[in-house]
Amino acid sequence: MDSQQLLLGLAWYVVLVFSLTVHEASHAWAARRGGDPTAYLGGQVSLDPRPHIRREPMGMVLVPLLSFASSGGWMIGWASTPFDPRWALDHPRRAAWMSLAGPASNFALVLAAGVAIRLGIASGAFQAPASIGFTQLVAAPGGGVAELLAVLLSILFTLNLLLGVFNLIPVPPLDGSGALGLLLPEETARRAQLLLRRPQLSLLGLVLAWFLIGRIFSPVHLLAIQLLYPEFSYGYR
């Protein structure tokens, strides 16, 4: 692995850890606002990644580094937030808002990255690229720090779009299944919670979500790129 790949890996890791931290801190904040202090007492209502890494060292350290080393171009990982299941059963709608808080934070980061990209283009620091890729949504003609920022913003935009869309798939153990509490009567939502907590369904849900994301993300990503660059017509490289 050459120095350029190492720098790309560092950029990926910084963005991934930041994105997962924001996602889980949003869950923890929403749970506390809803009356469950479990994650707050664990120090997870915080943008400090350390309490999140301590809870999920495999998902936030080992798997991201191994996935990048094996793929040479991308990372995967995960984190988690503790909550009181009795609180979730007593307050299914509050639990649903807690579930939605994570993906909502990812979409907020997508929006923030998009605004930063457009501001960079308006200032002359960035320009629209000749072609679009996962880590190349904007180019920096001057190189240097601007080029690093272009890569970071590109990864931030696409990775958080992926995290937001993936977690909204309504299968356990993803956040989309927890959000069903907003659509169902409270008693039905409680029964659904108990059913969806079964480990067998979580395993099946992850397999199904992995299958679905490969088919739904590309059109969503292209739509997001069209919104980012309404004056251009991009396709994948």
pLDDT in tens, 165-214: 999 999 999 999 998 888 888 899 899 888 888 888 888 999 999 999 99
pLDDT in tens, 62-110: 999 999 988 877 899 999 999 999 999 999 999 999 999 999 999 999 9
Residue 235 lies in a domain: no
Distance from CA of residue 26 to its chain's centroid?
11
Give the type of residue at 20: L
Q: Please give the tally of structural domains in the chain.
A: 1
Cβ contacts of 143 within 8 Å, gap of 6 or more:
none
How high is the mean pLDDT of the chain?
93
Distance from CA of residue 52 to its chain's centroid?
14
Give the C-alpha separation, 12 to 84, whole Å.
Answer: 32
Residue 144 lies in a domain: yes
**Contact predicate 135/111, CB 8 Å:** no
Residue 137 lies in a domain: yes
Using 50, 70 and 90 to split pLDDT, how confident is the model at 1? Answer: low
Under DSSP, is residue 107 helix (H, G, I), strand (E, B) or coil?
Answer: helix
pLDDT score recorded for residue 3: 81
Which conformational region is residue 124 in: left (phi greater than 0), alpha (psi within -120 to 50 degrees), or beta? Answer: left
Sequence-ordered alpha helix ranges (H) in the chain? 3-33, 38-41, 49-55, 57, 63-71, 85-90, 92-123, 144-168, 175-178, 186-196, 199-228
Give the C-alpha separation, 19 to 203, whole Å.
Answer: 24
Residue 196 lies in a domain: yes
Residue 80 lies in a domain: yes
Residue 142 lies in a domain: yes
Residue 130 lies in a domain: yes
Structural domain harbouring 12: 3-228
Residue 236 lies in a domain: no
